[in-house]
């Protein structure tokens, strides 16, 4: 914008020299040496090719160092800005995930509490065995592991029972079209072919997991409409 408004174009290095010569010290300017003034004049021109053609060399080695350091500073500022923006986005996404998880947890607790729902022991034991296998728990530690993880397994079983009931009653099972749409969305993020992503998920045995995820999202969306729990 400054380049368009200023007659003859705005050149940062020339204006920097003008500031120290004419504007600083209440308009009297600063009493700088020729070497310093030359370094200011040559210090900034572009962020690329700073050692190549098109650059007028500074009158001193110190000026050349300043020219390079100025570009490095620009790059560092840009990198820091990008990192801050990325960190902010990651934090916002994580906060949204945590808020959503808390809403879902409260929904399940409300339904379980209102219906006095118990977790069938065979289902709990089966889930504990799955946990133990996944964590590769040694046989001599299975009893201790089961004792520590039983509350978690019971909560998971109750959660699945609630969701399965809602899905069946409201006919919320994920459709093939919804599964294809989700795969296409994943492929878009990866900049990959949807067919290849589908085949990769199928080979890894993750299509059922993705289908369950979509189904649960639909079930929770239905429960939210019927519940007093509000999203954070």
Query: Domain residue spans in the chain?
Result: 2-79, 98-226
Residue 79 in tokens = 């990198």
Nearest in space to 230 (alpha carbons), one of 92, 100, 98, 108: 100
Residue 172 in tokens = 């919320």
Q: Which residues contact 114 (CB under 8 A, 6 or more apart)?
A: none
Residue 147 in tokens = 């004792």
- Do the beta carbons of residue 60 and residue 38 sit within 8 Å? yes
Nearest in space to 225 (alpha carbons), one of 170, 183, 177: 170
Q: CATH assignment of 98-226?
A: 1.10.3120.10
How far apart (Å, rounded) are the C-alpha atoms in residues 77 and 73?
6
Residue 200 in tokens = 């990769």
pLDDT of amino acid 4 = 66
How far apart (Å, rounded) are the C-alpha atoms in residues 183 and 204?
14
- Assessment of whether the complete model's pTM goes beyond 0.85: no
- Do the beta carbons of residue 219 and residue 104 sit within 8 Å? no
Check residue 22 and report its DSSP letter. Answer: I
How far apart (Å, rounded) are the C-alpha atoms in residues 149 and 224?
28
- The residue with tokens 């009493």 is 31
Q: Tell me the pLDDT of the chain (232 aa) as tens digits.
A: 656 666 666 666 777 777 878 777 777 778 887 777 777 777 655 544 555 555 566 667 777 777 777 777 777 777 888 788 778 888 888 888 888 888 888 888 888 888 888 999 999 999 999 999 999 999 999 999 999 999 999 999 999 999 999 999 999 999 999 999 999 999 999 999 999 999 999 999 999 999 999 999 999 999 988 876 544 4
Nearest in space to 133 (alpha carbons), one of 146, 116, 122, 120: 146
How far apart (Å, rounded) are the C-alpha atoms in residues 171 and 190?
31
CA of 197: how far to CAs of 47, 177, 193, 216, 217, in Å?
A: 39, 15, 6, 22, 21
- The residue with tokens 């500074």 is 58
């Amino acid at each position: 914008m400054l380049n368009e408004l200023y007659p003859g174009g705005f050149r940062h290095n020339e204006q920097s020299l003008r500031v120290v010569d004419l504007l600083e010290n209440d308009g009297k300017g600063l009493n700088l040496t020729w070497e310093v003034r030359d370094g200011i004049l040559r210090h900034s021109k572009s962020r690329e090719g700073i050692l190549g053609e098109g650059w007028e060399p500074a009158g001193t080695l110190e000026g050349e160092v300043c020219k390079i350091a100025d570009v490095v500073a620009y790059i560092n500022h840009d990198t820091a800005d990008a990192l801050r923006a990325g960190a902010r986005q990651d934090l916002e996404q994580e906060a949204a995930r945590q808020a959503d998880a808390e809403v879902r947890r409260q929904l399940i607790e409300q339904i379980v509490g209102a219906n006095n729902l118990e977790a069938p022991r065979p289902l709990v034991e089966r889930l504990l065995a799955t946990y133990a296998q996944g964590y590769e728990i040694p046989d001599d530690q299975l009893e201790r592991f089961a004792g520590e993880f039983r509350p978690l397994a019971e909560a998971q079983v109750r959660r699945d029972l609630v969701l399965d009931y809602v899905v069946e009653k409201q006919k919320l099972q994920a459709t093939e079209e919804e599964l294809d749409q989700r795969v296409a969305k994943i492929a878009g993020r990866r900049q990959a072919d949807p067919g290849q992503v589908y085949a990769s998920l199928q080979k890894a045995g993750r299509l059922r997991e993705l289908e369950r995820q979509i189904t649960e999202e639909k079930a929770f969306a239905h429960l939210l409409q019927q519940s007093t729990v509000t999203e954070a």
